[in-house]
């Protein structure tokens, strides 16, 4: 038998994406509900993806071995 393959953590793969340059991006919080009280500007800025913090990126990279 061959070597075992690492499994991708599906929860992480649904929440994170890897850019062409290798950065890990995630969706920002605060856009799920209670949107009527938030300004257009705030909602627009929250809609942009954000880079995973450098301290977390090392751990997150282990969750996505083939990304």
pLDDT in tens, 9-60: 999 999 999 999 999 999 999 999 999 999 999 999 999 999 999 999 999 9
Q: Is 7 left (phi over 0), alpha (psi -120 to 50) or beta?
A: beta
Rounded distance between C-alpha atoms, residue 12 and residue 54, angstroms: 16
Residue 1 lies in a domain: no
Domain containing 20 — which CATH number? Answer: 4.10.410.60
Residue 4 lies in a domain: no
Question: Which pLDDT value is given to residue 1?
Answer: 62
Domain that holds residue 22: 10-63
More confident residue, 67 or 30: 30
Whether 60 contacts 24, CB under 8 Å = yes
| Burial degree of 49 (CB within 10 A; 0-12, 13-18, 19+) | middle
* pLDDT of 2 above 80: no
Number of domains into which the chain is organized? 1
């Amino acid at each position: 038998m061959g070597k075992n393959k690492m499994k991708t953590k599906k929860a992480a793969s649904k929440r994170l994406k890897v850019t062409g340059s290798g950065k890990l991006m995630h969706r920002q919080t605060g856009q799920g509900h209670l949107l009527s009280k938030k300004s257009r500007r705030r909602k627009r800025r929250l809609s942009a993806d954000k880079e995973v913090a450098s301290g977390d990126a090392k751990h997150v990279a282990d969750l996505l071995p083939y990304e």
